[in-house]
Structure 1
Amino acid sequence: MQLRHQILALAILPLVLTIALITAFTTWQSSNLAQSSIDTFERNLLKAKETELLNLTNLALSAIKDVYDNAGPDDEAAKERVRQILTSLDYGQDGYFFVYDYDGNNVVHPRQSFRPGHNWFDLVDPDGDKVIANLIAKAKEGGGLHQYKWEKPSSRSMADKLSFAAGLDKWRWMIGTGVYLDDVFSQTEAAKADLKQSIRRTFVIVTLIAVPSVLLVFATCMWITLHERRLADGKQKLLTQRIIDTQEEERARLARELHDGVSQNLIGVRYAFDLASRKVRASAADAGAAIDRGIDALNGAIKEVRDLSHELRPRVLDDLGLTAALTSLGNHFEERTGISVSVESSSPDTLKPEANTALYRIAQEALSNVERHAGASEVAIRIWSMKGRVRMSIADNGIGFTEKTESRSPNYSGGLGLRNMQERMAHFRGILIVQTNEKGTTLTAMFPKSANAATSAPKAA
């Protein structure tokens, strides 16, 4: 995977992961809240059923109260009257009252006529619950609720049933009634189905929003990457061309200097020594003067070669440091142009060699600009350090320039230009600030601490 693809992956994957986590958390939270609401709804329905059972039981007890209160323990006529009343108290196809004695014998059952007269104490439902025994136990305790499975008259199928049992202790009877819970559970299941549908719909909506968003971000990143790559490629081509042009200009200048300076001087030396040789062979009186003129011409050629070598790479920069190199550069510039150059340094040489070279080249280019365009009489070079960060400023008292002036002068900065100076600084993450007006121009180069040479602690003796 290429670097730009890795960057895109690092940008897209956290976004996708975040959206997935947010979606999962939202879905989970919504599911929990909905499930809590459904559980509350189910509890409320069951509570309503319990209240309904208590009301129905109280209604039945009120219907038989007079007969029961006035009867004795063995009053069969009263018992028969109560059986008739309870048999007639039915409230719908699945609503009825039932009676068992404490021994488990059925007394009243309006829906299942085969039960009266038989003992059902050991009857168990499909879940193994001893239904009649537990209902009798609730009645003996003073009344209570019990849930079990029982055949539903309307559907002839087993269903969950909640019953309330109360005791008629004088007759040792258990009277009860119940409601089937399948309608409660069906409503709960319907609510759960609605919940699943709602969660599914929410997930689809989030997906329809998230996926296009991720694709949009991906497409935007791809477009930005391609756009930046095209810009970078364009800048790289321009920089490469500028480097090639600079190299050609430098080679042309060296060729010109060698041809017009060193080569001419060496030809003059050759002619001088040829003349001196002829005078010596002829024993001329002025042979010594001819030799002296040849020596002077040779010294001039040597100086030209030394100056050219100094411009290419000053040895003093490597041997004595930046301050000495700038001082030597200023002295040569002042001798050649007559423009006064002062160098002030209050900072030790702490920069890396590459950074020293960059500052030296910037100073070279700045002085070349001053010579060609500024019309200045004075140049001040100052080096100082601020909080461990090296600074260099080059200020002249010339006419200044504008962006239009620079654009009209292709050779404004000796073939490299201010942009190349800035690129030299940008290589070290430094900054080049240019301030110019009609009173002169000031260039300030500012290096970060990372441009300083690494220092090591002195070793203990």
Structure 2
Amino acid sequence: MLKKLKGIRFQLMRAELYIIYFSLLIISLIALFTYSVLQPRWLHLEAIFFLLILVILIMTPVSLYVMFQRTKYIKGRIHAFSIFVSMLQQGKYSAELFLEDSGDELDAFTEELNDLAKKMKDQVNTLQRLADEKSEFAQQAHIAATMEERQRLARDLHDAVSQQLFALTMMSQATVKLIDKKPEQAKEHIKEISEMALQAQNEMRALLLHLRPVYLSGEPLNEGIVRLIEELKKKSNITFHLNIDEEFDLSQSKEEHIFRMVQEALSNILRHASAQNVKVELKDRDQDIYIHIDDDGIGFNASEEMEQKTSYGLKTMKERCEEIGGTFQIKSQEGQGTYIDIRIPK
């Protein structure tokens, strides 16, 4: 309640009361001066006080009512501005404020906000056009990038799977020697070997996921993502829950960016999340494409992970999203899974 009383509407009402009471103070001083110095017969002290009290009793509620009704218009305009700015923050750049043509400063502010929205929309279109051009250049440089990708995969295999396989070999050799002498300890080693083998298997699946073609090879976006997930179902124990629209009126560049972002998210889940269930949504909503991916895995500290230089996957997803004018949000906590929300303007 106290917070509302500090709003601009009540500030204007208080200012109106200040003006009325200050005016009454001036009138009362003039009346008292006239009564005490000039002493006209028609002016009485009782009449002065009666008139002042009468004006206060009448003018206070009247002025409050008039100002309350008048400021209702101003509050409505400001609320409209607030909603409009929130829509711009959500990436809805096609929104437009209604110009009431009242000729006041609020109309000028309305025109400026509409111009800002148009400029932001033009900038998004420019980003998307640049993304299309970048996609064409990327196709031309695909052969050269293939060699670099092979080298990266070789490093990943050496750093992750190769070391895990070496550790498995050493532990299995040690376990063989312990089977007869210390069977209980050998049993514990076998459990560790099983867990390490499962981790190595997940790492290999994630790396193989990156070996898929960078482009969709002409197939629709929904079919490409469904085919990707169907292959993952065969290679993992994860249960996928899909909610994907059948058609998306998007350029090839946007579809490729979205496909790669979904692919990167699923790769991260496969390698790090230890999840049992994954939900993937792709919806066409008016002016935006809405993408939601969540899992019930182990989670992590999202803010710290985004700041680390080694979190290439998340940073790549964010950069791809921003390249086509979208917004990227990720929420995660340890033990509570991970939630990714992406909005791409059409």
User: For this structure pair, what is the TM-score category when the shorter chain's length is used for normalisation?
Assistant: 0.3 to 0.5
* Structure of greater relative contact order (alpha carbons < 8 Å, 6+ residues apart): 2
Q: Going by fraction, where is strand more abundant, 1 or 2?
A: 1
Q: Greater share of helix residues, 1 or 2? A: 2
Larger Rg: 1
Give TM-score, length-normalised by structure 1.
0.30
TM-score normalised according to structure 2 size: 0.39
